[in-house]
């Protein structure tokens, strides 16, 4: 449906700063796993083209990328583990920058949302030794999640260091910052969620304890590349990937401590009318990015209202960006949008990846 053009003074079209990140507009690209990196996790020519096409986002947040081999859950996800991975990201960063964009790499350690065929045979690690219920996509079709082992207390600093190392690689590659994926049931969420985290050490039990590992990862990453280049993504209460959470106060506990660290931004997955948005806003003085989190489709006018009403400073948009490389132009002009094709979301080649048409 064609819409009216946006006013030039629309809040969506105004620049916004998040720490050291300077975004030309407030329509950011949400992280989207596309399973098209090389088998060793290196972004390739197609990845370079895909991100270059989407450089018009205020900030391009990359696909979830593993900070370690055991942190990989799915085939052909990108990584920030090896020199080759770093070189691949350098090409992506160069392409995004050449078109005036800002690039953030999302660091996604999947924890127990994994299969040993993707971890190189290693037993997945988590806050718990209890396997997630359900199945995961592998190169040989859907398989039950592999049983994880619970990380030992004295292993945790090493895992935090993996995030820091991956962030250093991102920066060496010219990527502008990183986003810690603490949402959607992956490793950091497995620590936060009281229905999953069954630890009896200082990292389980109270909200303070469940937030502890995430804070330590954020601190290690901030020490490595500067807090002003580190964002974090959270999804309070999101049951995706076998998460159960009865105590979402952990997010206020967490974000209060992240505010002390001075991270660049918090990226919150929640519908705009969810009371959690105001609760997080109240404890987070910095830049807040909002994504609907699958609850409702991301629509331009809702996004504009969320920023105009001060619920958030920017919005992150997933599937509309996937299908519309020039989404900011289309939203600005009120043009029709391409429809995303779910059959080509995960894996494959150029089809459904780099061949969505632009207006011009
Ligand atoms: C194909 C696909 C891949 C996704 N991959 C990731 C990911 O790697 N990391 C992440 O945090 N969220 C991921 N998400 C969630 C999106 O970032 C976003 O929260 C979700 O699509 C809802 O926003 P939308 O309605 O604007 O698409 C993915 C979603 C889709 C559709």
Please tell me what DSSP assigns to residue 66.
B
- Nearest atom in ligand 1 to the alpha carbon of residue 296 is 25
**Would the pLDDT of 1 be above 70?**
no
What pLDDT, on a 0 to 100 scale, did the predictor assign at position 294?
Answer: 83
**What gap in Å lies between CA 207 and CA 199, rounded to an integer?**
12
Confidence category of residue 296, pLDDT binned at 50, 70, 90: confident
Fold of 15-296: TIM Barrel (3.20.20)
From 61, 318, 343, 345, give the residue whose CB has the most ligand 1 atoms within 8 Å, as the site to mutate. Answer: 318
Helix (H) or strand (E) holding 330: helix 327-333
- Mapped onto helix, strand or coil, the DSSP state of residue 98 is helix
Burial-class residue 260 by CB neighbours within 10 Å (0-12, 13-18, 19+): exposed
From 27, 28, 33, give the residue whose CB has the most ligand 1 atoms within 8 Å, as the site to mutate. Answer: 33
186 is catalytic: yes
**What gap in Å lies between CA 48 and CA 94, rounded to an integer?**
9
* Percent over 70 (pLDDT), the chain: 100
**Would the pLDDT of 196 be above 80?**
yes
Per-domain boundaries in the chain: 15-296
**Would the pLDDT of 42 be above 90?**
yes
**How much distance in Å is there from the Cα of 78 to the middle of ligand 1?**
15
**What gap in Å lies between CA 201 and CA 152, rounded to an integer?**
9
For range 201-205, the mean pLDDT: 98
For range 316-320, the mean pLDDT: 98
**What gap in Å lies between CA 214 and CA 189, rounded to an integer?**
9
pLDDT in tens, 219-248: 999 999 999 999 999 999 999 999 999 999
At residue 126, φ and ψ (nearest 5 deg) are -155, -175
Direct distance between the N- and C-terminal alpha carbons of the chain, in angstroms, rounded to an integer: 19
**How much distance in Å is there from the Cα of 308 to the middle of ligand 1?**
24
3-state helix, strand, coil in the chain (%, to 5): 35, 15, 50
User: With contact defined as beta carbons under 8 Å apart, do 35 and 347 qualify?
Assistant: yes
**Listed residue (1, 101, 90) closest to 43, CA to CA:** 90
What pLDDT, on a 0 to 100 scale, did the predictor assign at position 145?
Answer: 96
For range 303-329, the mean pLDDT: 98
For range 49-72, the mean pLDDT: 98
For range 240-267, the mean pLDDT: 97
Reading phi first (left if > 0) and then psi (alpha if -120 to 50, else beta), residue 24 is in alpha
Catalytic residue among 50, 74, 186, 265: 186
């Amino acid at each position: 449906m064609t819409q009216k053009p946006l006013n030039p003074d629309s809040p969506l079209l105004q620049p916004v700063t998040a720490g050291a990140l300077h975004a030309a507009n407030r329509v950011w690209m949400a992280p989207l796993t596309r399973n098209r990196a090389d088998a060793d996790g290196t972004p390739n020519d197609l990845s370079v083209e895909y991100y270059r096409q989407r450089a018009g986002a205020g900030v391009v947040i990359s696909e979830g990328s593993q900070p370690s081999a055991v942190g990989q859950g799915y085939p052909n996800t990108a990584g920030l583990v090896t020199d080759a991975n770093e070189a691949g990201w350098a090409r992506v960063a160069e392409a995004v920058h050449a078109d005036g964009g800002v690039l953030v790499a999302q660091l996604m350690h999947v924890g127990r949302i994994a299969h040993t065929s993707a971890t190189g045979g290693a037993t997945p690690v988590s806050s718990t030794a209890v396997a997630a219920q359900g199945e995961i996509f592998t190169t040989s079709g859907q398989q039950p999640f592999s049983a994880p082992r619970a990380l030992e207390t004295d292993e945790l600093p090493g895992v935090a260091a993996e995030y820091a190392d991956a962030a250093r690689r991102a920066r060496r590659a010219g990527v502008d910052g990183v986003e810690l994926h603490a949402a959607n049931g992956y490793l950091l969420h497995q620590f936060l969620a009281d229905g999953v985290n069954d630890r009896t050490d200082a990292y389980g039990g109270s909200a303070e304890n469940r937030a502890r590992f995430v804070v330590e990862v954020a601190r290690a990453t901030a020490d490595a590349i500067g807090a002003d280049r580190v964002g974090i993504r959270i999804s309070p209460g999101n049951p995706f990937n076998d998460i159960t959470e009865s105590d979402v106060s952990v997010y206020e506990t967490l974000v209060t401590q992240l505010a002390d660290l001075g991270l660049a931004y918090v990226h919150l997955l929640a519908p705009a009318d969810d009371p959690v948005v105001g609760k997080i806003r109240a404890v987070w003085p910095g830049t807040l990015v909002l994504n609907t989190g699958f609850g409702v489709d991301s629509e331009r006018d809702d996004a504009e209202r969320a920023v105009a009403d001060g619920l958030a400073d920017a919005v992150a948009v997933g599937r509309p960006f996937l299908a519309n490389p020039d989404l900011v132009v289309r939203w600005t002009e009120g043009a029709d949008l391409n429809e995303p094709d779910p059959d080509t979301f995960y894996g494959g080649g150029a089809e459904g990846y780099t061949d969505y048409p632009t207006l011009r």
